[in-house]
Amino acid sequence: MHEGMSVGIGLYWPLMIGGATLYSSFPVDLVLWIMVGAYGAMALFAVVTLPVEFDASRRALAWIKDSGTATVQEYEMSKDALKWAAMTYVVAALAAITSLVIVLVQLLGRRD
């Protein structure tokens, strides 16, 4: 997993706990806007890294095929494994976007 992505995922729970702590100490709207910014940055990073991951998988498959280090069966297994490895980035991006939407709904759906 890309180092930046693992940092972003590692920040998820501290952001949740920090948001809950700030929630009781600061105006609710301010805390929610801070969370929107943080989750927005995580979602943007997750989406931006998607093409990088898919390209890395494509290049790895090309290397496996061109180097002749794998049999046809091993190549097909590698292809499947790399596809699903790349899909983990898609799931991470969807999770980040979902978290952002949840906070936005909380913020925009508030009735004072």
**For 27-79, what is each residue's pLDDT tens digit?**
877 878 888 898 899 899 999 999 999 999 999 999 999 999 999 999 999 99
Question: 104-108 long-range CB contacts below 8 Å, 24 or more apart?
Answer: 104/36, 106/32, 107/29, 107/32, 107/33, 107/36
The 3-state DSSP class for residue 11 equals coil
| 8 has a pLDDT exceeding 80 | no
